[in-house]
Structure 1
Amino acid sequence: MKKNSRRQFIKSAAIAAIAPSVLTVDQPKQILHQVFFWLKNPESEADKQALLKGLRTLKAIPQIKKLIIGTPAATEKRPVIDNSYDICLLEYLSSVEDEKAYQVHPIHKAFVEQCSHLWKKVQIYDVEVME
Structure 2
Amino acid sequence: MMALGGAGAVAATGVAGEAEAAAPAIPAKVVHHVFFWLKNPGDATDRAKLIAGLRTLAGIPALRGLHIGVPAPTEQRDVIDSSWDVSELMFFDTVADQKAYQDHPIHRAFVAECEKLWRKVTVYDVLSA
The superposition leaves residues 31-86 of structure 1 with CA deviations (integer Å, 9 ceiling, x where unpaired) of 00000000001222111111011000000000110000001111111111111000
How many residue pairs match? The answer is: 102
> Please, what is the CA RMSD of the aligned residues?
1.0
Aligned partner of 1:117 in structure 2 is: 116
Q: Which residue identity lines up with residue 46 of structure 2 in the other structure? A: D
Gaps of 5+ in 2: 1-27
* 2:94 aligned with 1:82: no
Aligned partner of 1:22 in structure 2 is: none
CA distance in 2, matches of 1:107, 1:84: 28
Gaps of 5+ in 1: 1-28
Comparing both structures, which one devotes a greater share of its residues to helix?
Answer: 1
Q: So what's the TM-score if we normalise by structure 2?
A: 0.77
Larger radius of gyration: 1
Q: So what's the TM-score if we normalise by structure 1?
A: 0.76
Q: Which residue identity lines up with residue 128 of structure 1 in the other structure? A: L
- Runs of 4+ with deviation above 2 angstroms: none
CA distance in 2, matches of 1:111, 1:51: 9
* 2:72 aligned with 1:73: yes
CA distance in 1, matches of 2:98, 2:82: 26
Percent identity over the alignment is: 52
SS at match of 2:37: strand
CA distance in 2, matches of 1:83, 1:100: 28
